[in-house]
Structure 1
């Protein structure tokens, strides 16, 4: 499979402090499933921010979709970001909007006509098992329901890459399993999945996934498998 992401000797520093990420190099194959692990403070969230273009590296090369993302003109960033879905650890739902409108937000920002929005939003609500909660606002939803709405919002634009930062950290084990099934379903449709997690039970549930580990801002790759990612398992 073609590589959809390539990091080469990437470093990231905040201000004048020491590097948070140092000499990070790896590739991600299109359509594969990856878990990103590491102790708290290892740099997982910082790496994800580079991946979904929330920050630019201090040094090194990042290629996304075959193009240099570091030197990408600012006017092209929105188009690139629409190709990447993000599930944040703290959900980041808009509290005064309904579940329906939160999911519809990316489509409206992209300029989709209102007449074409309802069908995909209803489909997403059904996909995450919340058909009857479309009118509910985030403060009235449980943590698991909010997380599912956040996932639906992240994937409604059919992203080529989905990045999820500790997506099961605020839900019970049964809900964590359900969310994992949603990610696997999206992966089977061809989306590259990158999930940052401490939950090794979830990691063991996806036999075809590749694990990347960050230690003190560096990728641990004792097996060399990061340079040769596995093929995505088809059903």
Structure 2
């Protein structure tokens, strides 16, 4: 597959107002790492919603994994979504479930037998440094721990693409670096990573990452939208 994502002249409008996103065109390569940047209100979250199929565009072409995601029948969308892991800015953990059960949830939804859950779930919790917190419920976890549970849940199914919306926005700088290291490690295993952030200091932490900047709903530099971090941040 040449590209895992292809957007061509995509526009997104909510209701009858002005377009939130206009004339968005780009491609994402499989196994690459991307930062999506831009000021608050630039449209980053809206673009991510299109990427993980929570929203359909008002116009334009979107191809994911070689398939037309715009004209695809709705009953086929869940199968495509299972190939994408999502880390939400507000975590969206199920409050009455333990960390273990939150991480296990995608596997249960996919029909994995209970006897086959324990090893991968505990390995994933250990991978994010929460092996001793498997039985803890979200309310008893710190913000950084909740975020790591959310990351573990997003990647437990070994998605082909991981989309993260401001994943370091609610944690301190040390934890931000730890979370970014987790994404980097996952990327080295072959997962395409897309991280939306307004934190410019993160952009040089992954030297091979490419940067796409949004400004007022448009790609800020359409002739060179995907570029390496500037030298002063590398």
Q: Specify the TM-score bucket, using the shorter chain as the normaliser.
A: over 0.9
Deviation at 1:221, TM superposition (A): 2.3
Unaligned runs of 5+ in 2: 229-234
Contact 2:87 2:151 in 1 (8 A): yes
CA separation in 2, counterparts of 1:73 and 1:152?
30
The CA deviation at 1:225 is 5.5
SS of match in other structure, 2:169: coil
1:90-123 deviations in whole A, cap 9, x for unaligned? 0000000000000000000011100111111001
What does the per-residue CA deviation read over 1:107-147, in whole Å, with 9 as the maximum and x for residues that have no partner?
Answer: 00011100111111001000000000000000000000000
Q: How far apart, in 2, do the equivalents of 1:225 and 1:54 lie?
A: 24
User: What is the deviation of 1:223?
Assistant: 5.6
Q: Which residue of 2 aligns with 1:233?
A: none
Deviations 1:142-169 (A, max 9, x none): 0000000000000000000000000000
The equivalent residue for 2:68 is 68
Residue 148 of structure 2 is aligned to residue 148 of structure 1: yes
**How do residues 86-97 of structure 1 correspond to structure 2 at under 5 angstroms?**
86-97=86-97
Q: With structure 2 as the length reference, what TM-score do the two structures score? A: 0.95
Q: CA–CA distance in 2 between the matches of 1:187 and 1:225? A: 21
TM-aligned CA distance change 1:225 to 1:49, over 3 Å = closer
What SS does structure 1 have at the residue aligned with 2:129? coil
Instruction: Give the alignment's TM-score, normalised by structure 1.
Output: 0.95
Query: Structure 1 residue 199: deviation in Å?
Result: 1.2
Distance 1:20 1:222 in 2: 17
Aligned-residue offset at 1:224: 2.0
1:44 corresponds to: 44
Query: Aligned equivalents of 2:200 and 2:186: distance in 1?
Result: 21
CA distance in 1, matches of 2:146, 2:188: 24
Rounded to whole Å, the distance in 2 between the matches of 1:104 and 1:222 is 40
* Structure 1 residues 26-175: aligned runs within 5 Å: 26-175=26-175
What's the Cα RMSD here?
1.5
Separation in 2, partners of 1:132, 1:90: 23
Q: Choose 158-167 or 199-208, whichever is displaced more.
A: 199-208
Which residue is equivalent to 2:189?
Answer: 189
Find the aligned partners of 1:81 and 1:127 in 2 and give their Cα distance: 24
